[in-house]
Structure 1
Amino acid sequence: MIIAIFITFIFIVLRFTVTLFNFISNPKLPHIKSPYRQLVSVLIPVRNEQDNILALLESIYDQDYTEYEVIILDDGSDDNTYNICEVFASKHHQFRVMKGKKLPHDWLGKNYACYQLAKEAKGDYFLFLDADEKVNDSLLNSAVHRMRLYNLGLLSLFTNQQMDTFGEKAVVPLMHYILLNLLPLRLVYLVKNSTVAAASGQFMLFDAAIYRKNEWHKQVKDRVVEDVEIMRIVKSSGYNGEALLANGMISCRMYKSYTEAVNGFSKNFLAGFNYSIITLLIYLVIIIGGPMIVMMTLNLQLIVFMIGLIILTRIMISLSASQNAWLNVLLHPLQMINLTIIAFMAIQKHLTKTTVWKGRQV
């Protein structure tokens, strides 16, 4: 019992320290207004996104950067996605839409779609976005400025999350919670070793010349969590990579219900632990079982100390991610239950090879 309590507090203090470092270092993309003139190819793979894609296209058209092209690749949609994109592109000359080729057996869908898009792009930078996002002013200027300032091969942003339903609020904040609780984000750039890597496929901005030379998506053609793997390969190839928080310049509504959120997170949750079920189970035992053991001691000082660190951690992460801090504190127990559900769903899908996303097995 004493050993379990000791391990629990060591882990809580370490996680608090990481969170404090992230909060103080403020790893956000700075807003830059100075205009740049480099051509940015905005590349958007879509599959059955008729409810989302128009809002993204309109937000790109309304933002303040002028030197861009937008290429949308329809990856076998069976809804009205292609027609919506085609109508929009016919009225806006910087936009065009294409249909993707048949998926080869040794590729995953999104990776192959991104590979095809890069082949069509003409820009100095390649920006890959997901269809369920919205961009705001300063995003492209700020991102291009960062690429040039730090000589980056890849800049990835963790977008601000839009959550409308209670189910989303009980699940989606787990993404920033795990990220900012376990990884000092500034180290992705500062530490050149490729093992220190983080990225989000929701915003991946590449130096186009480097991308054309290396064809990053081809190198990870069969990887479910291609974003983190690309960051690792970029760094191991000797290029600079950086991952930051979006600082309000791009937002995303990842899922629209509790069921969508749980299924979506379980798709790639195990990949964050390098597909090690043992490592994931140890993490769950410490992060959830540990505090329960501390509560069972009925030692008021230990309990107050533990709860205090957890509350401070949730507040700092929520403020960094522009989320409702007190709501996340209140929902913390429920979010930990959902974390457990997601983890066991991920294990079950991995063992039975039944992970499906957008109608395809992955």
Structure 2
Amino acid sequence: MPDLPVAYHFAVLAVLVLGLATVLLNLTCFDGLTPALPPGRDARRVSILVPARNEERCIGPCIKSLLAQDYPNFELIVLDDQSSDATPHLLDELGLRPDNPHRRVIRGQPLPAGWVGKNWACDQLARAATGEFLFFTDADTTHATGTVSAAVAYAERRRASLVSAWPRLVTVTWGEKLIIPMILLLGMTHYPHWLLLALQRWPRVAQVLPKALLSVLGAGNGQFMFWRRAAYDTVGGHDALRAHLVEDVALGRAVAGRIGEGLRLFNCDALRFSTCRMYRSFGETWEGFTKNLWPAFEARLAVFCFVGATQLCAYFTPCLLLWLKWNSADRPWLAAQVGLIVTIRILLTVRYRTSWLSCLLHPLAELFGIAIALNSWRLARHRGVMWKGRRYTTSSSSSSS
């Protein structure tokens, strides 16, 4: 096999050095929720909002952890989105009733045309909520007793419009351990969270930048979205993106696009407070990421292809070539490239306490990630993806039950 051009090696190294620099800057700027004493009885009201559709495996621990919050002024509202399993029965056992004003369950209305199920559920929850803060969290999460107190303190300290916190990702099966940490690799190498924070410190600069440019800097994590109610209403809430399959990223972008108008978005760690087990098998992981990957790019094929090419050429190919060309003159170049990849993976694994399996089997994880991305694009453009008994054709299409 002939030696590779030096220009090729420099190009790959440049991408990886940029990725490492972005990770280091993001990790430096990404602070975390910290313990806070519960405020007094005059504390602002927080509405804890949980959409639930067929969540019998996880709804119990989630609701118990939320009921145990030490914050003195909160309401818990769970929307049962027409579940066909034991979810309604479990909610009843936990004491949630339609007529309980502080700990209640509401029965979801049928899904209208043009809506994604979770967005419709969250819209109904928001309309039922009475708090100054809206805390949307998923049914597959659990939360320490001081989570709400910490979130309120963080939001007040930062004057945040939206706090999107990242729980510790719990993985058990090999498929979860291998693939789920790839979220962090993509999110921390391709999203300049540090730049958004800098622009929020210099609002005059943000005011002269186009909203479209600001919005691409935004992101969010639907597992933990802590809103000021006024900001949620300002961006239109879930109603403004009723057909978007990746509503958390879209909402983060909506806030980021308006930081020049005074809104403020903060992504942070919730590792000390919250956990989330997203999926429970390789099949669920494949299906869930297939649903999300292409819609996350909002039908921007050029960006989708660019990120995919970056992952293939810079984060996978060096590992393969180092093995194939071990005895060639390219080995020092390839070793340096793989060294940068390993450094990035170790930094993220240590910081977010994810499984080492994905780090050790990085080339295999990359292959699965690329395959899932291609499958997501293929299904979204043709017959659509299935999720919780509903079919979605594209990121902006209607669904059918």
State the TM-score, normalized to the length of structure 1.
0.93
Work out whether 1:358 is the aligned partner of 2:388.
Answer: yes
Letter matched to residue 216 of structure 1: G
Match of 1:253 among 277, 285, 293: 277
The separation in 2 between residues aligned to 1:236 and 1:284, in whole angstroms, is 25
The separation in 2 between residues aligned to 1:90 and 1:360, in whole angstroms, is 26
**Could you tell me which residue of structure 2 aligns to residue 287 of structure 1?**
311
Shift of 1:90: 4.6
Residue 316 and residue 44 in structure 1: after superposition, are their counterparts in 2 closer, same or farther (change >3 A)?
same
Match of 1:33 among 33, 36, 52: 36
The separation in 1 between residues aligned to 2:216 and 2:192, in whole angstroms, is 13
Match of 1:47 among 35, 46, 53: 53
Residue 76 and residue 232 in structure 1: after superposition, are their counterparts in 2 closer, same or farther (change >3 A)?
same
Work out whether 1:202 is the aligned partner of 2:210.
Answer: no
Work out whether 1:269 is the aligned partner of 2:299.
Answer: no
**Could you tell me which residue of structure 2 aligns to residue 156 of structure 1?**
164
- Post-superposition Cα deviations, 1:245-269, rounded to whole Å, max 9, x if no partner, equal 2222111000000111011011111
Identity %: 28
**Could you tell me which residue of structure 1 aligns to residue 399 of structure 2?**
none
Shift of 1:177: 1.4
Work out whether 1:220 is the aligned partner of 2:241.
Answer: yes
Asked if the contact 2:32/2:270 (under 8 Å) is kept, the reply is yes
Shift of 1:178: 0.9
Match of 1:235 among 243, 251, 256: 256
Letter matched to residue 31 of structure 1: T
**Could you tell me which residue of structure 1 aligns to residue 124 of structure 2?**
116
Shift of 1:194: 2.5
Asked if the contact 2:218/2:254 (under 8 Å) is kept, the reply is no
Aligned ranges 1:111-190 → 2 under 5 Å: 111-190=119-198
Residue 149 and residue 301 in structure 1: after superposition, are their counterparts in 2 closer, same or farther (change >3 A)?
same
Letter matched to residue 14 of structure 1: L
Residue 30 and residue 205 in structure 1: after superposition, are their counterparts in 2 closer, same or farther (change >3 A)?
closer
Work out whether 1:67 is the aligned partner of 2:73.
Answer: yes
Shift of 1:68: 1.2
Asked if the contact 1:225/1:268 (under 8 Å) is kept, the reply is yes
- Post-superposition Cα deviations, 1:51-97, rounded to whole Å, max 9, x if no partner, equal 11111011112333232110011111111111211221259974210
Work out whether 1:340 is the aligned partner of 2:370.
Answer: yes
Q: Structure 1: 5+ residue runs without aligned partners? A: none
Asked if the contact 1:70/1:94 (under 8 Å) is kept, the reply is yes
Deviates more, 1:29-38 or 1:73-82: 29-38
Residue 18 and residue 90 in structure 1: after superposition, are their counterparts in 2 closer, same or farther (change >3 A)?
closer
Shift of 1:236: 2.8
The separation in 1 between residues aligned to 2:389 and 2:129, in whole angstroms, is 27
Aligned to 2:226, the other structure's residue is in SS state strand
Q: Structure 2: 5+ residue runs without aligned partners? A: 200-205, 207-213, 393-401
The separation in 1 between residues aligned to 2:158 and 2:115, in whole angstroms, is 32
Asked if the contact 1:108/1:221 (under 8 Å) is kept, the reply is yes
Shift of 1:213: 5.0
Aligned to 2:94, the other structure's residue is in SS state helix
Letter matched to residue 36 of structure 2: K
Letter matched to residue 16 of structure 2: I
Match of 2:89 among 61, 77, 83: 83
Aligned to 1:248, the other structure's residue is in SS state coil
Letter matched to residue 121 of structure 1: A
The separation in 2 between residues aligned to 1:90 and 1:96, in whole angstroms, is 5
Residue 184 and residue 213 in structure 1: after superposition, are their counterparts in 2 closer, same or farther (change >3 A)?
closer
State the TM-score, normalized to the length of structure 2.
0.84
Asked if the contact 1:315/1:329 (under 8 Å) is kept, the reply is yes
Work out whether 1:311 is the aligned partner of 2:342.
Answer: yes
Asked if the contact 2:77/2:106 (under 8 Å) is kept, the reply is yes
**Could you tell me which residue of structure 2 aligns to residue 211 of structure 1?**
232
Asked if the contact 2:25/2:194 (under 8 Å) is kept, the reply is no
Aligned ranges 1:16-27 → 2 under 5 Å: 16-23=20-27, 25=28, 27=30
The separation in 1 between residues aligned to 2:304 and 2:232, in whole angstroms, is 33
The separation in 1 between residues aligned to 2:127 and 2:306, in whole angstroms, is 43
Aligned ranges 1:85-104 → 2 under 5 Å: 85-90=91-96, 94-104=102-112
Shift of 1:307: 1.5
Asked if the contact 2:166/2:221 (under 8 Å) is kept, the reply is yes
Letter matched to residue 19 of structure 1: V
Letter matched to residue 67 of structure 1: N
Query: How many matched pairs?
Result: 360
Aligned to 2:82, the other structure's residue is in SS state coil
Work out whether 1:11 is the aligned partner of 2:42.
Answer: no
- Post-superposition Cα deviations, 1:120-170, rounded to whole Å, max 9, x if no partner, equal 111110000111100113321121112111221111112210001111101
Shift of 1:27: 0.8
Asked if the contact 2:49/2:78 (under 8 Å) is kept, the reply is yes
Asked if the contact 1:125/1:205 (under 8 Å) is kept, the reply is yes
Deviates more, 1:143-152 or 1:232-241: 232-241
Aligned to 2:332, the other structure's residue is in SS state helix
Deviates more, 1:129-138 or 1:283-292: 283-292
Asked if the contact 1:154/1:240 (under 8 Å) is kept, the reply is yes
